[in-house]
Amino acid sequence: MIVKDRKIPLKIRKLEALLRRLHHSHPKYSEVEEELAKSLAGFKGEQSLDYYLRSLPDQEYFIFHDLRLSDGAYFFQIDTLILSTSFILIIEVKNISGTLIFDPAFQQLIRTNNGMEEVFSDPIQQVNYQTFKFTEWLKNKHFPAIPIEPLVVMANSNTIIKTSLHHQLPLQSVIRSTKLLEKIYEYKESHKEEKFSKKDIRKLCNLLLTWHVPKNFDVLQRFQINRSDLLMGVHCPKCKKLSMERKWGKWVCTTCSFSSRDAHKNALNDYFLLFQSSITNEQFRNFLQLPSSSIAYKLLTSMNLPHSGTKRWREYDLFLDESIE
């Protein structure tokens, strides 16, 4: 059973919004583009596991995607967590192309691709750390001790995986995604004693949903980009150009002549992702390049947004689509 579904990470949506609002000639454009490409690759790798996980019995396994929990001082994140009454599985997903060499001696992963060599953090160490933190988390929440298995899943089918002849043991916890179901059933066979009751499982599922905290960050600060560097206005849903104008009660694209009544909603999403979760009439007018405050007021009130304050100090609350986290 999928208890916490996989959603588009907030980081990806923020990077996409930033690229939409940066001119291609901006000195940070390529850096943001590269970061987005890496994030999308990671997300697609995680999504590829869903094909296999859907085959697990609903009443036997309880699946959480993209969990972020606190130990009281710091946060730790788990790509996929699978609960059962006899064991727990923590999965770290990697979608990296090229030839990968696991180097446990120096706790690193070396990637060779197109003649270039690059070093990554060792995913085995990552998932072992997550396992340690989650074990402590369960202990602090007074749950019974239960076996927790760490697993690294390589999602890219074209990746070549290697390791030193002297360090074969760590690769027992590294598999390709095609072997995921087989590995889960191996764990089931080796952990037959029930450690959690159905009541424990229900309680833990509720606790995990309650304690999960989505990661948020200031994308402009991350790349040291000023607000003044961003492009204002409303994108055309058809040609994607930043060329819509408000005419005759609707948005009209000056490039392709496409018209829309609600193109401003996508612009508001960008504002939420790049700046903050509330907006004033003046901020709305400036960001969407509207000709008057009365037009801005009509658009804002038409969306029935919760608000606080009065007149020029009124602030409207903004919300993202529920499928985004």
> Which of 113-117, 125-129, 211-215, 259-263 shows the lowest per-residue confidence on average (mean pLDDT)?
113-117
Q: What is the pLDDT of residues 152-210, one digit of tens each?
A: 999 998 899 888 666 666 678 999 999 999 999 999 999 999 999 999 999 999 999 99
111, 100 contact by CB (below 8 A): yes
Question: Please, what is the average pLDDT of the chain?
Answer: 92
Kindly state the tokens that stand for 158: 């074209």
Is pLDDT above 60 for 322?
Answer: no
Helix, strand, coil distribution of the chain in percent, nearest 5: 40, 25, 35
- Measured CA to CA in angstroms, residue 253 lies from 23, 237, 257, 262, 290 at distances of 19, 9, 5, 13, 14
| Per-residue confidence band for 130, with pLDDT thresholds at 50, 70 and 90 | very high
The pLDDT, as a whole number, for residue 170 is 62
The pLDDT, as a whole number, for residue 163 is 80
The pLDDT, as a whole number, for residue 323 is 42
**Is the C-alpha dihedral spanning 65, 203, 133, 161 positive or negative?**
negative
Structural element, H or E, at residue 322: none
Sole residue written with tokens 């907030």:
10
The pLDDT, as a whole number, for residue 321 is 60
| Per-residue confidence band for 232, with pLDDT thresholds at 50, 70 and 90 | very high
183, 175 contact by CB (below 8 A): yes
Distance (Å, whole) CA 122 – CA 101? 10
Q: What is the pLDDT of residues 106-119, one digit of tens each?
A: 888 899 988 889 99
CB atoms within 10 A of CB 316: 21
Q: How many helices (H) and strands (E) does the chain have?
A: 10, 16
Kindly state the tokens that stand for 256: 């392709």
